[in-house]
Amino acid sequence: MLCHMAIVVITSSGAKNARLYVEVMESAGAAVRVIMPEDHADVATEELMRDAGGLLLTGGPDVDPALYGEVADPEAGLELDRGLDDLELRILEYALGRDMPVLAICRGMQLLNVAFGGKLIQDLPNHKSEKLDERWESASHTIYLAPGAKAAPVIGMAGFFKVNSLHHQGLKEAQRAPRLMTTAYEVEDGLIEGLESPEHSWVIGLQCHPERQDEVPKMFDNLFIGLHERAESFISEFAA
């Protein structure tokens, strides 16, 4: 029988943005394919996802508020890339339809919520990086990950974690898509920090950036190892 190598597809607004995600996935043993809107807007979804066993939705620009029925707030300082939104939404639909493992990080978690019919808060203060002594420093805060979260056994434990905070959009319970489940939240302001789909085997969204490995607990590396392992299982079952 032919042995199929599972590819983890990484979506990104550009090559520079994709670099850290590629590094952590390759460190976890995965083969990767980076998909960016300028190269792949006209390519069929089936072709983009050929031999794919998993999907990693990355951080990046803001999700277009038109996708959740709102007008862009001129005071929110939005950076939009509708080409990326459209590309990711069709790739995500493809992955979800096949119950493919999905890890959605920061913007990726926000897009996941929008894809399931939820909304976003267009601008949040005090969650972005700050410039200190000419260097950009990530903000940080404490989150609580519920014991029932699928992410908990993947990471290795549930409970309280200090993680980075690099976003100016997000969601609370009022914006959450009803079909998604809150699995983590920020302790101080109740902002949702984790979302999962109960309808799927392994669809995990996190608001923090675990690819910035020195800004989160070491055990968060297990998320990338877990995605790779699930991608291999997905391809094995698909090829069987």
Question: Which one of 209, 228, 229, 232 is the catalytic residue?
Answer: 209
Handedness of CA 139, 143, 149, 155 (dihedral sign): positive
Taking the C-alpha atoms of residue 83 and residue 92, their distance in angstroms, rounded to an integer, is 14
Q: Are 62 and 169 in contact (CB under 8 A)?
A: yes
Taking the C-alpha atoms of residue 35 and residue 41, their distance in angstroms, rounded to an integer, is 9
Taking the C-alpha atoms of residue 180 and residue 218, their distance in angstroms, rounded to an integer, is 27
Question: Which one of 40, 106, 193, 232 is the catalytic residue?
Answer: 106
Shortest CA distance to 105 belongs to which of 186, 166, 43?
A: 166
Question: Which one of 211, 215, 229, 232 is the catalytic residue?
Answer: 211
Residue 211 among the catalytic residues: yes
Residue 209 among the catalytic residues: yes
Residue 38 among the catalytic residues: no
Annotate 74-97 with three-state secondary structure. Answer: CCCCCCECHHHHHHHHHHHHHHHH
Shortest CA distance to 31 belongs to which of 3, 1, 10, 60?
A: 10
Counting runs of H as helices and runs of E as strands, what totals does the chain give?
7, 11
State the CB neighbour count (10 A cutoff) for residue 106. Answer: 24
The catalytic residue positions are 106, 209, 211
